[in-house]
Amino acid sequence: MSVLFTTFNLGKLETKNRFVRSATTSYWSDDDGILTDSILDHYDKLSKGNIGLIIKGHSYVTEKGKAHEKQSGLSSEIHSPRMRELTKLVHANGSKIIAQINHAGYTSINDRATASFYELDDKQARELSLEEIKQTILDFGNAAKLAIDAGFDGVQIHAAHGYLISQFLSDRINKREDEYGGTLEKRMKLLLDVYTEVRKQLGEKAIIGVKINTDDFAPEGGVRVEDILIVLKKLHELGLTFAELSGGGPEQELKIRESRGRAAEDSSYFEATWGGHAKKIRSAIPNLTLILVSGIRTRQTMDFLVENNVVNLISMSKPFINEPDLVNLLEKGQDKASCIDCFKCISRNNFAKTMLRCFHKYP
């Protein structure tokens, strides 16, 4: 039997296989960030598909950090009842589920604010005060506690994709001259402080992960894999349970994104978008549980990555939109995901305008 279909101990949590559904926002909560029936139906299908671990689409930790309309929230008790329904449903179907908590920073629709004054395209953001940073750290801790109280098996801190924590890590955005800016050690202080607060709220044995860029893929500056090695080593020392490796920031260039993080073209896992970066991180931090997302579509690549300990778990997003039962299909002999990466599911024409679905399969 393939190792992909064997159990794995993620801290105190045992997953039934090595598959992870990467957090994917559905844009279908109500105006107060409360989950709708459509979202519950979506996660019902996912959890019936035998996915070992589901990471729920990001939830804002404060209204000020809301990334987009119809985003779910974990900032108040008003979000708890429906979140509790979600976790009960997923658990009843045999999957584990983790909450991803996030602050949008300069991309917020309510308060564009980040590490320093920042301007990109038609967006301007002001600099957060020290007092606001301290409150944001508390907001992450509060959101984490709400998540666990609602029945989630753990939390994932979103530190990737150009959201607030990712913005603080980047020297392209973070020009502060206080304890939260300047050197990498200072730029990563927000992430470390958020992790420490979440750990304080949840306790030593809680499952706490991070989603983090292996590379911002900016032409100049930004986070590179050498920086992330330092950040993850420190988080590992502090007791981080797992890291989901991703990539891409607000100033990324597609050509760079498609090449800089890959393994050699003749390798057995070239299709994994940042598999090369993952190998560097594994070599530097051999005992940290690693999850890899992006570009992974074939059983051959999945098997190689896990069997050769490049990573421990395989994470996917779009393939599970297309085939929520993909794990079962792969176990029965299907050799790859059917997703053709047309990106219609996450295009500006469809995102936030209809419930998340595969528009190639169901136009």
SS (H, E, C) 242-309: EEEEECCCCCCCHHHHCCCCCCCCCCCCCCCCCHHHHHHHHHHCCCCEEEEECCCCEHHHHHHHHHCC
Residue from 359, 353, 352, 358 nearest 72 by CA:
352
Distance CA 183, CA 346 (A): 35
Range of the domain at 200: 3-346
Kindly state whether residue 96 falls inside one of the protein's structural domains. Answer: yes
pTM above 0.85, yes or no: yes
**Bridge partners (DSSP) listed for residue 244:** 211, 291
* Predicted pLDDT at 360: 67
Kindly state whether residue 352 falls inside one of the protein's structural domains. Answer: no
Kindly state whether residue 332 falls inside one of the protein's structural domains. Answer: yes
Distance CA 66, CA 114 (A): 13
Kindly state whether residue 211 falls inside one of the protein's structural domains. Answer: yes
* Predicted pLDDT at 363: 60
| Model confidence pLDDT, tens digit, residues 117-153 | 999 888 899 999 999 999 999 999 999 999 999 999 9
257 contacts: CB under 8 Å, gap ≥ 6: 217, 247, 248, 273
* Predicted pLDDT at 341: 75
Kindly state whether residue 363 falls inside one of the protein's structural domains. Answer: no
Kindly state whether residue 351 falls inside one of the protein's structural domains. Answer: no
Task: Rounding to the nearest 10 degrees, give the CA dihedral for residues 26, 27, 33, 38.
Answer: -60
Residues 223/215, Cβ–Cβ less than 8 Å:
yes
Distance CA 303, CA 299 (A): 6
* Predicted pLDDT at 344: 73
* Predicted pLDDT at 362: 62
Work out how many domains the chain is built from and give that number.
1
* Predicted pLDDT at 28: 85
Kindly state whether residue 123 falls inside one of the protein's structural domains. Answer: yes
What CATH number is associated with residue 185?
3.20.20.70
Distance CA 275, CA 68 (A): 30
Distances, alpha carbon 17 to alpha carbons 6, 84, 318, 329, in Å: 5, 24, 19, 14
Terminal Cα distance for the chain, rounded: 37
Kindly state whether residue 354 falls inside one of the protein's structural domains. Answer: no
Q: What averages of pLDDT result for each successive group of 10 residues across the chain (363 residues)?
A: 95 97 91 96 96 98 96 98 98 98 97 96 93 98 98 98 97 97 98 98 97 96 96 98 94 92 96 98 98 97 98 96 95 92 71 70 64
The beta-strand segments (E) located in the chain are 8-10, 13-15, 19-21, 53-60, 72-73, 96-102, 113-114, 118-120, 123-127, 155-159, 208-213, 242-246, 289-293, 313-316
Question: Coil, strand or helix: which one is 321?
Answer: helix
